[in-house]
């Protein structure tokens, strides 16, 4: 099933297939490279990144990571092959009742 906008209660639509997501460490170093899709709510226009591949296509410890990351950053500047997003993984801290108390970048 497609993602659903909680505010509008309708399914998101695909905006871009094949966006690149760079997962960053809090130190600012790139960690993983992923392919995903960008979806938007046709009603309110809210966007999300979802539809991730099963695995990253390149990880920081692989020998070709620096080359692949450089290619991604070049594409980010030229805008070719879809959008590029740099994101930080989050740490979700739950209270004793399961509520989220903090969501911090790692
Ligand atoms: Zn919406």
What are 4-46's pLDDT values in tens digits? 999 999 999 999 998 999 998 878 899 999 999 999 999 999 9
- pLDDT bracket for residue 92 (50, 70, 90): low
* Placement of tokens 């099933």 in the chain: 1
SS3 content of the chain, % helix, strand, coil (to 5): 15, 45, 40
Distance 83 CA to ligand 1 centre (A): 21
Map out the domains of the chain as residue ranges.
13-105
Other CB atoms closer than 10 Å to residue 52's CB: what's the count? Answer: 13
State percent of the chain over pLDDT 90: 58
- pLDDT bracket for residue 2 (50, 70, 90): confident
- Give residue 74's pLDDT: 92
Distance 4 CA to ligand 1 centre (A): 8
């Amino acid at each position: 099933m497609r993602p659903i906008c909680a505010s509008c209660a309708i399914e998101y639509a695909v905006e871009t297939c094949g966006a690149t997501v760079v997962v960053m460490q809090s130190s600012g170093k790139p960690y993983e490279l992923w392919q995903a899709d960008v979806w938007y709510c046709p009603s309110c226009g809210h966007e999300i990144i979802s539809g991730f591949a099963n695995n990253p296509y390149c990880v920081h410890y692989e020998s070709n990571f620096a080359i692949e990351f450089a290619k991604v950053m070049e594409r980010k500047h030229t805008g070719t092959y879809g959008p590029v997003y740099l994101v930080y993984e989050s740490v979700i801290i739950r209270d004793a009742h399961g509520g989220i108390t903090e969501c911090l970048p790692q």
